A and B are shown apart, each in its own frame.
Chain A
Amino acid sequence: MMRTLAHLDDLECAARARGGDGKAFAALVTRHQGRIYRFLLRLLHSPDDALELTQDTFLHAYQGMAGWRPEATFKTWLFRIARNLAFDRLRRDKLVSFVELDEGTDPPDPSAGPEALAETAERLRLLEGALQRLAAEHREVLLLREIEDLSYDEIAAVLNLNAGTVKSRIARARAALLAQLSPMTEVAR
């Protein structure tokens, strides 16, 4: 049965799920569980929390199917739910560092880049660590852009921002990540 739904796009599956088709909703879960899980995992740093909130994301989506409108893609809608749940959890556990995101000032100059890191595995390990140390607002925007490959408009829909703010936040997040990597680059030399 699942195989027969694989050819349907999100819109059709979501329309069927809204009509009470459980198989169509299961197909949507199968299709999106990986990206929601890894997004939450890197936001929360906890596999258990990521697993729990991935389930909660889909449960919220199931319960809110009647309110979903096709103007928002199902994927961005899921990311929005997941992101809100993750920030609620981070706030509750006081794990989030809410930095003042001044969108108007120039980002720091990441002069010392990560290019000196020779070994790919080591570089990626350091990158993963640097990503975890970023402010949650910077981390989420980079995850959505660089790993999930969402467009500026899609990110704007997920984060409820305008596209201009998304553009500057991405630039600042990249600069912050490079700045995180710079001291390690020096050490690695």
Chain B
Amino acid sequence: MNCPEYLDISAHVDGMLDPAERLRLDTHLRDCPHCRRRLEQLQLLRRDLRALPMPTPGVDMATLIGQRIGADRRSRRRAERRFWISWGAPGLGVAASLAIGIWLGALLGVGALGAAPGLTMHVFDPVPPGGLCAATELCRASKGLQ
């Protein structure tokens, strides 16, 4: 007699055979005491496994986990606060300094550029700076004064 594979008997216990497989196995079981014994062993094993004690944690897990989640959240918030205290204030100071520096630089730059056309040099001024002008008309003319 060709006995079915052990895993088919196991699947039979779980009701996992399709109808054709199940019919074939049931037919075989009627004539095979060896396979019937295997099936009975597996059914007894299942019954005993399901009769094992069902231990419980004995504590309210929801409360414990709620506390751990709360503690986790608080420590994360503390870490964030520490980060801002350690790096936030100095960082803001540096950023503000940079911004002021750029603003002042831009201001001076624009001022300098704006003033540039007004700065004219009289390279060929006949009177040196601080010198006395001998002929007022000439000096006025050389400085563009009327």
Shortest CB–CB separation between residue B105 and chain A, in angstroms? 46
Chain B contributes a number of interface residues (CB within 8 A of A) equal to 35
Report Cα–Cα, A167/B9, bound state, in Å.
Answer: 11
Decide if B52 touches A127 in the complex (CB within 8 Å): yes
Decide if A114 touches B44 in the complex (CB within 8 Å): yes
Decide if A59 touches B10 in the complex (CB within 8 Å): no
Tell me, yes or no, whether A147 is within 8 Å of chain B by CB. yes
Closest to B63 in A: A26
Q: Is the interface of A mostly helix, strand, loop or mixed?
A: helix
Report Cα–Cα, A123/B44, bound state, in Å.
Answer: 11
Closest to B69 in A: A62
Decide if A59 touches B57 in the complex (CB within 8 Å): no
Tell me, yes or no, whether A183 is within 8 Å of chain B by CB. no
Decide if A114 touches B48 in the complex (CB within 8 Å): yes
Tell me, yes or no, whether B14 is within 8 Å of chain A by CB. yes
How many residue pairs, one in A and one in B, have C-beta atoms under 8 Å apart? Answer: 107
Report Cα–Cα, A153/B45, bound state, in Å.
Answer: 22
Decide if A124 touches B48 in the complex (CB within 8 Å): yes
Shortest CB–CB separation between residue B64 and chain A, in angstroms? 6
Tell me, yes or no, whether B142 is within 8 Å of chain A by CB. no
Closest to A29 in B: B62
Residues of chain B within 8 A (CB-CB) of A142 are 49
Closest to A32 in B: B61
Decide if B52 touches A54 in the complex (CB within 8 Å): no
Tell me, yes or no, whether A81 is within 8 Å of chain B by CB. no
Q: Is the interface of B mostly helix, strand, loop or mixed?
A: helix
Residues of chain B within 8 A (CB-CB) of A62 are 65, 69
Residues of chain B within 8 A (CB-CB) of A80 are none
Residues of chain B within 8 A (CB-CB) of A175 are 6
Of B35-43, B94-102, B118-126, the one with at least 4 CB within 8 A of chain A: B35-43
Residues of chain B within 8 A (CB-CB) of A34 are 54, 56-57
Interface residues of A (CB under 8 A from B): 22, 26-27, 29-30, 33-34, 37-38, 41, 47, 50-51, 54-55, 58-59, 62, 106-107, 109-110, 113-115, 120, 123-124, 127-128, 131, 142, 145-147, 152, 167-168, 170-172, 174-175, 177-178
20 contacts between A and B (CB under 8 A): A26-B62, A26-B65, A29-B62, A30-B62, A50-B57, A55-B61, A62-B69, A109-B6, A113-B40, A114-B45, A124-B48, A124-B53, A127-B49, A152-B16, A167-B11, A167-B16, A174-B10, A174-B45, A178-B41, A178-B45
Sample of 14 further A-B pairs with CB below 8 A, known A55-B68, A178-B41: A29-B65, A30-B61, A34-B56, A34-B57, A37-B55, A37-B57, A38-B56, A58-B65, A107-B7, A114-B45, A115-B40, A128-B52, A171-B10, A175-B6
